[in-house]
A and B are shown apart, each in its own frame.
Chain A
Amino acid sequence: MKTVSLATFVLAGLSTASAQDAMQEKLEKKLQSPFLSKAAWITDYDKAREESKKSGKLIFAYFTRSYAN
């Protein structure tokens, strides 16, 4: 019984790890989207705020997602 439970947990762990790999892959693909290179989009929140502070410009923020196709 213990073996079954352990196997279940291991499998669940593997499946979570593989799901996370897939999410990471999707994020990386999204970061390569052509629209991001057509203007000076910043994808790091801290850097965007820093740039706004430095330049005195307001931030125009666009929220999108990578996890869904």
Chain B
Amino acid sequence: MGDGFAKFSKKYVLFCHITSHVKDRKHDNLLSEKGGRGFPHLVAMDSAGDVLAEHEDEREADAFERTMAKAREFVDLQKKAAAGDKGAKVKVLVHRLKMGSLSPEEAEKAVAEAGPLSRDQEQEIQGLLSDAAIKGVLKNLKMGDPQGKLDAGKKFLERKKAGKPAPTGDMEIQIYWIFMMDYAETQKDAATYEEALNALKAKFGGNPQAQQFFKTREAALNRLKEGKKDK
């Protein structure tokens, strides 16, 4: 441990969470509850466990300190919001949605309480609400649960049919459309499958690493369409 980290470590509570997959271990699912999707994941949190800032920089003391400074800025913003600053309230809401600190229900309630929003704010918040909803579904999904994935895909399709916007985060976009495609395949629903495939192509079609995925899915779509013709 370098001197920089030793100094840093005295200013904060250092918490190391280990995901173990040991059955019934308390808080074993904490990573996904805090919005993490991979390892290592580093965040600043308050004493309630709310995520204040995600660390996206180098893994060294100065960079950690910059993340903690962002966390303190957010704490100040929360104080302004609590004092009635409407602009701060909207910023806090957007930040908390981005950090995954709100359940979909809490998020809907907070948006209703935020009052009138600008068009840009409305658009950003609606997209983030969709991200929060996708994360909410994922939190309850266990690893290696194909039926759970299909149920999630069904829920996403219902959201879409209800006119809810698609998510905005890269990870959420992939999960939303891929799970929906998998569900559509079981229902022999070529139209939904194609719509989902086109949405993914629009976003990730230029990615060379995704070409095999698209090829496989195109073939599945053709099989679905052929199946329809046979009937």
Q: Which A residues form the contact surface with B (CB < 8 A)?
A: 20, 23-24, 26-27, 30-31, 35-36, 38-43, 45-46, 48-49, 51-53, 55, 57-67
Within 8 Å by CB of A59, from B26, B39, B45, B64, lies B45
- Judge whether B72 and A58 touch: CB under 8 Å: yes
- Judge whether A40 and B9 touch: CB under 8 Å: yes
Docked Cα-Cα span, A45 to B43, in Å, equals: 14
- Judge whether B22 and A61 touch: CB under 8 Å: no
Question: Which chain A residues lie closer than 8 Å to B47 at the CB level?
Answer: 49, 52-53, 59
- Judge whether B5 and A48 touch: CB under 8 Å: no
> Who on chain A is nearest to B27 by CB?
A45
Within 8 Å by CB of A23, from B20, B30, B31, B44, lies B20
- Judge whether A65 and B20 touch: CB under 8 Å: yes
- Judge whether A39 and B9 touch: CB under 8 Å: yes
Docked Cα-Cα span, A53 to B50, in Å, equals: 13
- Judge whether B42 and A63 touch: CB under 8 Å: yes
Q: How many A-B residue pairs have CB under 8 A?
A: 129
Interface string of B44-58 (1 = CB under 8 A from A): 111111001000000
A14 shortest CB reach to chain B, Å: 15
- Can you list the 7 inter-chain pairs with the closest CB atoms, starting with the nearest? A48-B15, A52-B47, A63-B41, A27-B20, A53-B47, A59-B45, A60-B12
Task: Answer whether A42 and B19 are a contact pair too, CB < 8 Å, given A60-B68, A61-B43, A61-B44.
Answer: no
- Judge whether A66 and B18 touch: CB under 8 Å: yes
Question: Which chain B residues lie closer than 8 Å to A67 at the CB level?
Answer: 19-21
- Judge whether B40 and A63 touch: CB under 8 Å: yes
Within 8 Å by CB of B52, from A42, A58, A62, lies A58
B28 shortest CB reach to chain A, Å: 9
- Judge whether B30 and A58 touch: CB under 8 Å: no
Interface string of B159-193 (1 = CB under 8 A from A): 00000000000000000000000000000000000
- Judge whether B17 and A62 touch: CB under 8 Å: yes
> What interface size band does chain B fall in?
35 or more
A31 shortest CB reach to chain B, Å: 7
Question: Which chain A residues lie closer than 8 Å to B132 at the CB level?
Answer: none
- Judge whether B48 and A49 touch: CB under 8 Å: yes
Task: Answer whether A63 and B31 are a contact pair too, CB < 8 Å, given A27-B18, A58-B12, A58-B52.
Answer: yes
- Judge whether B22 and A43 touch: CB under 8 Å: no
B111 shortest CB reach to chain A, Å: 27
B66 shortest CB reach to chain A, Å: 12
B112 within 8 A of A: no
